[in-house]
Amino acid sequence: MNGRSVLIVGAGLAGARCAETLRAEGFDGDLVLVGEEPVAPYERPALSKEFLAGAKDADDLLLRPGSFWAEQRIELVLGQRVDSVDRTRRTVTTSSGLELGWDTLVLATGARPRQLPFASPAGVHVLRTLADAEALRDELLPGARLAIVGGGFVGAEVASTARSLGVDVTLLEAGSAPFERALGPELGARLARRYRDHGVDIRTETAAAGFRETSAGRVDAVVLTDGTVIESDVVLVAVGVAPAHELGRGTEPPIYTCGDNAGSHGHWTGAAAEAVETARGLLGLDPLPRQPPFFWSDQFGLRLQLVGDTTQADEVEVEGSQDSFVARYRATGGKLVAALASNRPADVGKLRLEVATAA
């Protein structure tokens, strides 16, 4: 590795994991973590669940106790967005004009929510940051009508939380069932039934064409491509994320990239594993054995835990009941490529080994 100082841009999970791993594996130089949000690294997955439901507050989400970063001699520079990188002088400059130097730079800038291709009036939200979650939480009042654009994991988890808060929910999904692409049509249909049983109005094979707003400039409906009007007090746009790589990409010394901006698809565990590998690579350590991708989601009383990559699957076999089941995803020829456990947490370790062994 070059020099004695590492500057990490991005204080999300990947940046935090990279910094922690550098220290844990013996890096003794200056270590600075620069974050755009004004808060220390926190647990983003809880934003759509416990935080939105009011069961956890911002302090509960912190990845590490407040004293941890100072103890580990990791300097946190928070509330500063890095706007430019000077590769010759080896500095970064933030939006407030702060200039920070580095010998090695790690870009862990993460991802930003995708937006719809038309203007969003007040009351239209995205959910990525703590501030996004606070703004949405303040509007999820009992009896409010929430329209969610996008039937992916964020949309489903917010739908679940909102129903528990007494909010009316309409979920708009472009495919024929939520999670059809991620989990296949059979599981998608199974989950759709469950959402409907919990009072969610699911509209499939449709998309938002625009918003209708009040004279005060606040959203009051989502207009669909077929002209249907969904009256709404609050809207969440949850149509995925796009990597934030305005600062460029680093693939060789002295600039590296890890996390969602490097293409770990917004999956929490991919970003974490990449960050650890980046840190180990900087220190010249061998990579750790690869673990299969892992993802989980808590929604409508189900804990879904997914190991492996379903995109390679041709067939799914499901065993168990409606709520508590295991689905095995197999490629042509029968090779196990992924497994989904629903309310079967004790089976996950075994399934992970099955998937890893088959790979």
Partner 1 sequence: MYRIQIDRSLCSGFGACADLAPEVIELDASGNATVRVGVTDDPAVLDAAAACPMAAITVIEEEAEAA
Binding site for partner 1 (CB under 8 A): 13, 16-17, 20-21, 24-25, 43, 60, 63-64, 68, 268-269, 272-273, 276, 280, 288, 291, 294, 296, 305, 345-349, 352-353
Least CB distance from residue 267 to partner 1, whole Å?
Answer: 9
Print the SS3 string covering 237-290.
ECCCEEECCCCCCCEECCEEECCHHHCCCCCHHHHHHHHHHHHHHHCCCCCCCC
Q: 13 or 140, CB closer to partner 1?
A: 13
Q: What angle do CA 243, 183, 264 make, to 5 degrees?
A: 20
Least CB distance from residue 74 to partner 1, whole Å?
Answer: 13
- Distance of alpha carbon 334 from alpha carbon 313, whole angstroms: 9
Q: 127 or 273, CB closer to partner 1?
A: 273
Count CB neighbours of 55 within 10 A: 12
Least CB distance from residue 73 to partner 1, whole Å?
Answer: 13
Count CB neighbours of 114 within 10 A: 14
Least CB distance from residue 227 to partner 1, whole Å?
Answer: 42
Q: 331 or 356, CB closer to partner 1?
A: 356
- Distance of alpha carbon 155 from alpha carbon 127, whole angstroms: 9
Q: 33 or 348, CB closer to partner 1?
A: 348
Q: 158 or 276, CB closer to partner 1?
A: 276
Q: What are phi and psi of 203, to 5 degrees?
A: -115, 120
Least CB distance from residue 81 to partner 1, whole Å?
Answer: 24
**Going by C-beta distance under 8 Å and a sequence separation of 6 or more, which residues neighbour residue 105?**
6, 7, 8, 9, 85, 90, 92, 250, 254, 255, 256
Q: 291 or 312, CB closer to partner 1?
A: 291
Q: Mapping DSSP to helix (H, G, I), strand (E, B) and coil, where does residue 145 land? A: strand
